[in-house]
Chains A and B, each alone.
Chain A
Amino acid sequence: MRNVKWFLVGVLISVVMVACSEAIAHEMTPTYPKLRPSFAEDIYTTSIDLFNRRQDVEYYEVGIFDKDFKVVPFTTIYKIVKVSYLSKVNINVYIKAKDVNKAVYICSQSKIRKEQDVRTVVASRICSKFK
C-alpha cells in the first residue's frame, strides 16, 4: 500500500514536470529537408513543420541561409508566421533553381514581443540543413 502511494506521488510529479516542460518549447522538423522541383519551372520547394509549445511566443520568422548564414532569397506566403500555442503549422518555401546550391540552412526563429515584461528572454532558433 505504501509502495502504491509513492508510485502515485511519482506519477503525479512526472505529470506536473511534463506539463511544465511542455509550456515552453520550440520544435521544427525535419532535420534534413530536401528541395524538390515545384509545379513551376525553375522553382524548387520544400516544407517544414513548426510546433509551438512556447506560451510566450506567437510568431516565428522563417529564413534560408547559405553556409556562412548569409540570407538566400526565397519566397513563402508569410515570412513571419503566426503559430498559436500548442499548434502546428506546415510552411512551404520556394527558391529559384539558381539558388538551390547556395541554400544550406532553413531556420525558424521566435519573435519576442517588445512589451515583454520579464527581464531576460530567450529567443530560440532552430536550423535544419538541406540534404
Chain B
Amino acid sequence: MFNKIALVVLGLLGSSYVQAETAPINGVVQSRCIIQTDVAGTYGNPNAYTLSTDPQAGGEPVVIRYDVSLADAYYAEITAPQEFSSSPAINDTLTWSGDTEVKAVSDATGMGQYESTKIELGMMDRYDLTATGSTWFKTSSEVTLGGNKAFPGGNYTALVLAECIAK
C-alpha cells in the first residue's frame, strides 16, 4: 500500500515537473529585410590622383549584409558612389567607377544564381532575393581626378546606397 501511494506521489511530482519544463514562450517573427554594414570601407591613395577601395591600393571595399526572412519578397539594390558627400574643394572633373558583387551566401543552393542573374544599371546593381537567409555583397569604388592632378589634402567621404525594396 505504501509503495502505491509513493508511486502516485512520484507520478504527480513528475507531471508537475514536466509542466514546468514545457512552459511556452510565444513570439511572432515578422517578415523583414535587414541591411547591415559589415565593413564600412576605406579609400586607399595609391597615387596622387586616385582613390580606390582596392586592397592592393591600400583600401578596403564595403561589405553589406542583407538578412531576409521572407523568400521572393525583396530586391536588393546597391549603388556605388558617384560623388563625394564631403570633400575639400575640387576644381577638376572626377571619373568614378564601381561595382558590386556577391561575396558570400548562407544558402549556396537557393542563392547561387544571384550574381549571374543580377541586373546592372550604371553604378546600380539589382539582385532578386529569392531565398531566405543572408547574403554578403562587396562594393568597390575608384575615383580619379582629371588631368592626373593631385587630390587636395583632407577627408573624403563617399556614400554607397544599399536599398532593400519590397516586391
Interfacial residues, chain A to chain B (CB-CB below 8 A): 21, 24-32, 53-54, 56, 105, 112, 114-129
Interfacial residues, chain B to chain A (CB-CB below 8 A): 30-38, 40-43, 51, 53, 62, 64-65, 67, 70, 73-74, 81, 85-86, 141, 155-167
Q: Can you list 22 contacts pairing A with B, beta carbon distance less than 8 Å? A: A25-B34, A25-B35, A26-B34, A26-B35, A26-B36, A27-B34, A28-B32, A28-B33, A29-B31, A105-B165, A105-B166, A119-B157, A119-B158, A120-B62, A120-B159, A121-B40, A122-B41, A122-B62, A122-B162, A123-B162, A124-B37, A127-B166
Contact yes or no, B81 A129, CB < 8 A:
no
With CB as the reference atom, state the residue of chain A lying closest to B77.
A125
Collect the chain A residues with CB atoms within 8 Å of residue B161's CB. 122-123, 125
Collect the chain B residues with CB atoms within 8 Å of residue A119's CB. 41-43, 51, 155-158
Collect the chain B residues with CB atoms within 8 Å of residue A30's CB. 30-32
Contact yes or no, B32 A123, CB < 8 A:
no
With CB as the reference atom, state the residue of chain B lying closest to A20.
B38
* Secondary structure of the B contact surface, majority rule: strand
Rank and list the top 4 A-B pairs by shortest CB-CB distance, nearest first.
A120-B41, A129-B166, A124-B35, A25-B36
Among B64, B155, B157, the one with the most A-chain Cβ atoms within 10 Å of its Cβ is: B157
Contact yes or no, A24 B85, CB < 8 A:
no
Collect the chain A residues with CB atoms within 8 Å of residue B36's CB. 21, 24-26, 53
With contacts A31-B73, A105-B165 taken as known, whether A121 is within 8 angstroms of B85 at the C-beta atoms is yes
Contact yes or no, B166 A31, CB < 8 A:
yes
A27 to B32, CA, bound (A): 7
Collect the chain A residues with CB atoms within 8 Å of residue B141's CB. 120
Collect the chain A residues with CB atoms within 8 Å of residue B34's CB. 25-27
Collect the chain B residues with CB atoms within 8 Å of residue A120's CB. 40-43, 53, 62, 81, 141, 157-160
With CB as the reference atom, state the residue of chain B lying closest to A131.
B166
With contacts A32-B166, A125-B164 taken as known, whether A116 is within 8 angstroms of B157 at the C-beta atoms is yes
Collect the chain A residues with CB atoms within 8 Å of residue B85's CB. 112, 114, 121
A84 to B66, CA, bound (A): 21
Contact yes or no, A121 B160, CB < 8 A:
yes
Collect the chain B residues with CB atoms within 8 Å of residue A28's CB. 32-33
A115 to B155, CA, bound (A): 9
With CB as the reference atom, state the residue of chain A lying closest to B160.
A122
Q: Which of B31, B73, B155 contacts A117 (CB 8 A)?
A: B155
